[in-house]
Amino acid sequence: MRNLIVLGIVGFIAQLVDGSLGMAYGVTSTTLLLAIAGLTPALASTVVHISEVGTTLASGVSHWRFGNVDWSKIVWMAVPGGIGAFLGAYVLVSVISADAAKPIVAVFLFLLGAYVLVRFAFNRTRRIIDERPISRKFLAPLGLVAGFLDAVGGGGWGPISTPTLLSSGRMEPRKVVGTVDASEFVVALSASVGFLLALSFAEVPWGIVGTLLVGGLVAAPIAAWVVRHLNARVLGTAVGGFILLTNANTFLGAVGFNPSFNIIVYLAIIAIWVTALFFAIKALRQDQEPVLES
C-alpha cells in the first residue's frame, strides 16, 4: 500500500514536470519503477506507456484548452512517432539492447540543452522567437527517432522532441511543450499496443498502472496552466537547464570524465542554471520596459 501511494506521488510529480517542460514523465517513472517496484525494463516501460495513454490524453486536452498546441505539426510528428514507438516496443520485448545508442543521444541532448539555455537566457534581443513553418521533412524523422527511443528507453519522446524544436527558434516554448505533449498520446498508444501484443495481459501490474495514471491525471491541467502563463524566456531557460541535468551523467561517461568529479559538475550545472534563470528574468523585465522613441 505504501509503495502504491509513493507511486501515485511519483505519477503526479512526473506529469507535473512533463506537462510543464515537455519531458520527463517516462524517464522519471521508469527509473523509479525499476528501483521501487522491481520490474524488468520491458515491464516498467509497458506500465509507463499504458498509464501515459491516459495522462497524455488529459495533458493534450488541457494544453489545447489553454492554447498551447500547434495542430499543424501534430500529425507530422505523431504518426511517425507512433510507428517508431511500436517498433521500439517490439525491440525491447525481444531483448535487443539499445544501450549503445544512449551515450550518443546523451551527448547530442547535452549540447542541445546548452544551446537552448544560452539562446533563451543570454540572448539580448527582444525578439527571441521568429515564428516560421517547420518542414515536414524535419518533423517526420524527428518523430520516428523520438518515438523509437521512447519505447526502448521508457522515455525519450519529450527529451528529444522538445529541445530539438526549441533550438529551431521557430515556435513559442509553450507551443513546443503543448504540441509535444499532445502528440505523445499517439506514441504512448502505439507503444502500448506493441507491448501488449508481445506480453500477456496477466503479466501487466494493472494496480501500478492505475496508480501512476491517477497521479498524472491530477497534475495534467495544473501543468498546462503553468505553461500558458510562463514567459518564453523563463520557460526555455528552465527546459535547457533540465536537459543538462538529466543527461549529465551519461554525457560525462560518454566523454570519459572521472566519475569521482561528477558531483562538482552537477553543482556547476545547477549554479549555471540558476544564473541563467536570473538573467532570463532580468531580460524579461527589460523586454517589458517601453522603448523610448528618439
Please state the domain extents for the chain: 2-113+127-230
What are the distances in angstroms from CA 204 to CA 11, 112, 207, 210, 216? 17, 36, 9, 11, 19
Which amino acid type is present at position 143? G
What are the distances in angstroms from CA 92 to CA 40, 95, 176? 11, 5, 28
CA distance 53 to 143: 17
Has residue 54 got a pLDDT over 70?
Answer: yes
Query: Of 119, 122, 124, 231, whose CA–CA distance to 170 is shortest?
Result: 119
Segment 134-156 shows an average pLDDT of 86
> What are the tens digits of pLDDT across the range 99-138?
555 677 678 778 888 888 888 888 766 666 777 889 999 9
Supply the pLDDT for residue 182.
92
CA distance 151 to 178: 20
Least confident of 11-15, 75-79, 129-133: 129-133
- Which of 16-33 are b and which e, b meaning 16 or more Cβ less than 10 Å from the residue's Cβ? bbbbbbbbbbbbbbbbbb
Has residue 67 got a pLDDT over 60?
Answer: yes
β strands within 135-177, DSSP E: none
CA distance 283 to 233: 8
User: Who wins on pLDDT, 266 or 23?
Assistant: 266
Query: Of 114, 119, 115, 162, whose CA–CA distance to 280 is shortest?
Result: 119
Cα four-point dihedral sign 192, 198, 201, 205: negative
Supply the pLDDT for residue 255.
81
CA distance 5 to 205: 15
> What are the tens digits of pLDDT across the range 213-251?
999 899 999 999 988 888 888 888 888 888 888 778 878
Percent of the chain surpassing pLDDT 90: 29
The DSSP symbol for 291 reads P
Has residue 97 got a pLDDT over 70?
Answer: no
Supply the pLDDT for residue 63.
93
Q: What confidence tier does 160 reach under pLDDT thresholds 50, 70, 90?
A: confident
Supply the pLDDT for residue 269.
93
Segment 17-35 shows an average pLDDT of 77
Percent of the chain surpassing pLDDT 70: 89
Q: Which residues contact 256 (CB under 8 A, 6 or more apart)?
A: none
Has residue 292 got a pLDDT over 60?
Answer: no
The DSSP symbol for 22 reads S
Ranked by mean pLDDT, which of 31-35, 188-192, 254-258 comes out on top?
188-192
Supply the pLDDT for residue 189.
93
The DSSP symbol for 282 reads H
Least confident of 21-30, 92-101, 111-120, 150-159: 92-101
Supply the pLDDT for residue 294.
43
Has residue 270 got a pLDDT over 90?
Answer: yes
Supply the pLDDT for residue 222.
92
Q: What confidence tier does 92 reach under pLDDT thresholds 50, 70, 90?
A: confident
Supply the pLDDT for residue 57.
93
